Chain A
C-alpha cells in the first residue's frame, strides 16, 4: 500500500530527456535569456539550490527527500533572494559569492532538511513505541485486575472469541 501510494520524485534528467528537440532548444534559449536578463537571481538560485539539485539528481525517485530538503533549502535561499531583490544591480552577486556566511546559511538549511529527513522517522517511531508500550501496560494491568476478580476463564473466553473472529 505504501509503495503504491508513494510519489516518485522529480527526475530532472528524465524530464529533459522527455522533451522533443524543439522543446529542448526552446528551454536552452529561455535559460540563456533568463541568465542574461537576471543573472544575479539565476546565480543565487543555481548556487543556493545546489543541494536540492544534487538530491534531484542522486535520488530522482524519492519525492519525500526532494520535498523536505528542497523546502528547507529554498527557505534558506529566500533570505538572500529577497536581499537581492532589495539591492538589485548593486553587485550583490559578488557580495554573496564573497560572503561565506551566506553560503553556509543556504547550505545548512539544506543540511537541516537532510537531518529532518533521516532522523525524524526514528524519533517518531521511538516516541510512538514508548506511548504504545505505556498503553499496553495499562491494558495488561486492567486485564490482570479483571482476571483476579473474574477468573482466568474471562480472558480465555475472550481470547478464544477473538481467535474465532479472526
Chain B
C-alpha cells in the first residue's frame, strides 16, 4: 500500500460531536483551562475533550487537549490539534504511527477534526500521555545529569538510536530541542522526544539548536534535511541536559548564524556555555559544522566506551591560504565567503566581474575547476543582460553546495521551497520571487552539485510548468509535485483540511453547505492538487478546462468530479451537486430546443437532491438527445432560411412594387384589351353572319 493510500485510509474517518460531560479538572496534577464546551470523537474510539486543553503539552504550534480512549479507558492520551499556520508533515504520519521507539513519544492515532468553535477542520495527532511531565520546566532541567553520567549516556544513545531508526525509514525528526522532551513514566526514568509532525520541519527550532546549513535557510524552507541535522540538534539538546538549562543566547537568529559561521558552532557555544572538558570531544563531534564529519551513533558509542574517536579533518575544513576582502573584512572559508557575498550583493558582484573571486578560488582554495566554473559564469554574465542575484546564487552553489540556495531575500533548501510557497500563498503574500526561482536553473544546479541526493524526476519540467498559464500548471503544480506533505489550499474550502484527492469532493460539498458560493467549483490549486495526486489519467478531463467556452469547462469539471465520486465516494454530495447544477447551466444551452432546456432545468432541480453527480452528467450529456436536437435544429435552420429568403424576396419586390406592378398590370390590361377586341369582333361577325 502506498504512502498516500495509507494516509487516505487513516484520514477518511467520520467525526461526530457528543454532548458535554464533566471535564477533567487536572491532568497529572496540572490544571486544565476551560475554553470550549464540546467533545469530538475520532474513529469511533478517541474522544477529544475540547473543554480541557492542556497548555503544558502544546507543541510545534499545536494545541493539546485531553483525550479519552473508549476501548482502553485506563490509557492516558492527549491530542495535538495542529494550527493553520503551517502544515503537518503528512507523508511521515504512517511511518511514525508504526514506530515503537523508547525515545519517541508514541503516536497512537491521527485524523482530522472539526473544531467545535470555529468549525475549521484541522489535523489532530493523538499521542501517549507523558506521565512524568516535561523534562525542562521553565527552561530548567528537572533531572541532574551532571552527576549522573550513565543516565546522560543512555539518553544520548537512545536519541541517536532513534535517529538511526528514522534514517532507516528515510525520515527525519527535526524538532529535537529541550522543550520537546518528556518523561514518559511517572518515575521520570525514561525520556522521550515529542512531536515532530505538527509543523514544518525545524520550523519551531530555536537558532541555537539548528546546524548552520539549516539555520541559513528561511525557517519555512528548511526542508526535511537528513539525520545529520537531527544529530546536531541532539548534540545541542544533550548539552542543555548536561548544563541543566535551555541554552539561551539573547541574540537574534541572524546574529547566531553569523557567529556560528565566523567561529564554528562549537566555538560559539563554548562562548555561551561552559563545556565540560570530559565531554568536550563529544560535543565537538556532534556539533561539527561539516556534516560529513559530524559524529553519529557509532562514534558516540565509541566515545562512551572510552575509545579514542577522531574528530575528523579534511581538506575542506582547512583554512585557505588567501582571503577575500568583502565589506572591509577578510574572509577565508567558502561558507564565510558565501555568507558575506549575500550580505553585500553589489560588492560581491563587482568582485565576481573583476575576477577577484575566481582568483581566490584558484589561489586561495587551489580549486582550478571552481575557478573555471566561475569564469564561465562571468563570461556568460558579461555577454547577456546581467542578473546580480542569479549570478551570485549560482556561484554560491558552486562554492558551497551544502548551504541552501539563496536568491534575493529567499533562502531555501529545494525540498523545503514548496512549504515556503505554500505558506506565502496561504497568507496571500507575493510569490513572484518563487516564480522567478522556478524559472531559473538554480534548483537543478544545486542537485547536480549534491553527491548523495537525487533531484526530483520532473525537475526539468518546472520551468515549463511556470511558463504555462493554463489551469493545472503554474507554481501550484510544482509545490504539490515536490511535496507530499502539503494539503490543498484552495480558497474554496479554507475551513477544510484536504490532504488527498478523495477529500476534495467532501470539502467542496461542505464549503457550499456553509456558504453559498457563486464562483466556479474549482480553482488553480484544486486542479493542480488533483493532477499531482491522480496523475496523467485526469489529463483528458483537464483539457476541457483550457477552453474559453463555458459549457466545455463545465462539462470537463462535471465529468472529473463525477468520475471521482464514482471512484472515491461518498455516494451523496447534495451541496456539491447543487453547486454544479448552477455552474453547468451553460451545458443546458448546448441544446437548442427551448422546451428541452426547460425540461432539463426542471429535471436538474429534482436530480441534484440525490447528490449523485453522474446522474447530472448523464442527463446533460445524453448523446441520443443531443443528436436529435442537432438534427432537428438543422432541419429548422433550413426552414428558417427558406422563410427568410422568401420574406426578403417579398420585401424587395414590395419596395419596387410601383414600377413592376405597373408593368405587370399593363401586360394584363393589354391582354384583356386584345381579348375584348377579339370578343367584340367575333360577336359582331357572328351577328352579321346570322343576320
Interface positions of A (Cβ within 8 A of B): 2, 64, 67-72, 74-76, 78-79, 81-82, 85-86, 113, 116-117, 120-125, 128-129, 132, 135-136, 139-140, 142-143, 146, 148-151, 153-155, 157-159, 161-162
| Interface hits, B638-672 → A, CB 8 Å | 639-641, 643-648, 650-651, 653-654, 657-666, 668-670, 672
Add 12 more A-B contacts to A120-B668, A155-B644, A159-B644 (CB < 8 A).
A2-B659, A2-B663, A64-B666, A64-B669, A68-B673, A72-B676, A74-B677, A75-B679, A81-B684, A117-B666, A125-B662, A140-B647
Contact at A136–B633, with CB atoms within 8 Å? Answer: no
Which interface residue of B641, B664, B669 has the most chain A CB atoms within 10 A? B669
Assess whether A128 is in contact with B661, with CB atoms less than 8 Å apart.
Answer: yes
Q: Decide: B644 and A162 in contact? CB cutoff 8 A.
A: yes
Which among A82, A120, A154, A157 is the interface contact of B685 at CB below 8 angstroms?
A82
- Residues on A with C-beta less than 8 A from B641 are 158, 161-162
B279 adjacent to chain A (CB < 8 Å)? no
CB-nearest residue of chain A to B647: A139
B654 close to A129 (CB less than 8 A): yes
Q: Is there an interface contact between A149 and B594, defined as CB atoms closer than 8 Å?
A: yes
Assess the B643–A143 pair: CB atoms within 8 A. yes
A154's contact among B633, B670, B681, by CB below 8 Å, is which? B633
Q: Nearest Cβ distance between residue A96 and chain B, in whole angstroms?
A: 15
Question: Is B595 close to A, CB under 8 A?
Answer: yes
Q: How far is the CA of A116 from the CA of B657 in the complex (A)?
A: 18
A92 and B18 CA atoms in complex are apart in Å by: 133
Q: Which one of A69, A78, A79, A157 lies within 8 Å of B637 (CB-CB)?
A: A157
Report B585 CB to chain A, min CB distance, Å.
14
What B residues does A85 contact at CB under 8 A? 688
Interface residues of A, dominant DSSP: helix
- The smallest beta-carbon distance between B687 and chain A, in angstroms, is 7
> How far, in Å, is B460 (CB) from chain A's closest CB?
47
Q: Are B592 and A150 in contact (CB under 8 A)?
A: yes
Given A146-B636, A146-B639: A124 in contact with B677 (beta carbons within 8 A) = no
A82-B665 contact, Cβ under 8 Å, with A162-B641, A162-B648: no
Q: Can you list 26 A-B pairs with a CB-CB distance of less than 8 A?
A: A64-B670, A67-B673, A67-B674, A71-B670, A74-B677, A78-B681, A78-B683, A82-B688, A86-B691, A120-B665, A121-B665, A122-B665, A124-B661, A124-B662, A124-B665, A125-B661, A125-B665, A132-B650, A139-B643, A139-B646, A142-B643, A149-B595, A150-B592, A150-B636, A154-B640, A161-B641
Q: How many residues of B contact A (CB 8 A)?
A: 47
Cβ of A75 and Cβ of B665 under 8 Å apart? no
**Do B681 and A75 have beta carbons less than 8 Å apart?**
yes
> How far does the alpha carbon of A40 sit from the alpha carbon of B660 in the complex, in Å?
43
Check A124 against B644 for contact (C-beta < 8 Å). no
Known: A124-B661, A125-B665. A143 touches B680 (CB 8 A): no
Query: Interface digits, B609-644 against A, CB 8 Å rule (1 contact, 0 not)?
Result: 000000000000000000000000100110111011
Answer whether residue B566 sits at the interface, using C-beta atoms and an 8 A cutoff. Answer: no
Interface residue B593 (Cβ < 8 Å from any Cβ of A): yes
For A125, list chain B residues within 8 Å (CB): 657-658, 661-662, 665
What separation, in Å, do the CA atoms of A154 and B593 have in the docked complex? 10
* Contact in complex: B644, A72 (CB < 8 Å): no
Measured CA separation A162–B683 after assembly (Å): 55
Which residue on A lies nearest to B663, using beta carbons? A2
Give chain A nearest CB distance to B230 CB in angstroms.
67
* Distance of A158 Cα from B634 Cα, bound (Å): 11
Residue of A at shortest CB range from B651?
A136
B677 touches A72 (CB 8 A): yes
Knowing A149-B593, A150-B636, A153-B592 are in contact, say whether A116-B669 is a contact too (CB < 8 A).
yes
Beta-carbon contact of B676 and A75 below 8 Å: yes
Residue of B592, B651, B665, B680 near A76 (CB, 8 A) is B680
What residue of chain A has the Cβ atom nearest to residue B597's Cβ?
A: A151
When chains A and B are docked, how far (Å) is the Cα of A125 from the Cα of B595? 42
Quick one: closest B residue to A112, CB to CB?
B676
Contact A79 B670 (CB under 8 A): no
Q: In the complex, what residues of A have CB within 8 A of residue B660's CB?
A: 2
A85 CA to B639 CA, complexed, in Å: 65
Q: How far is B645's CA from A155's CA once the two chains are assembled, in angstroms?
A: 12
Interface residues of B in 56-99 (CB under 8 A from A): none
* B673 CB to nearest A CB, Å: 4
Q: How far, in Å, is B600 (CB) from chain A's closest CB?
A: 14
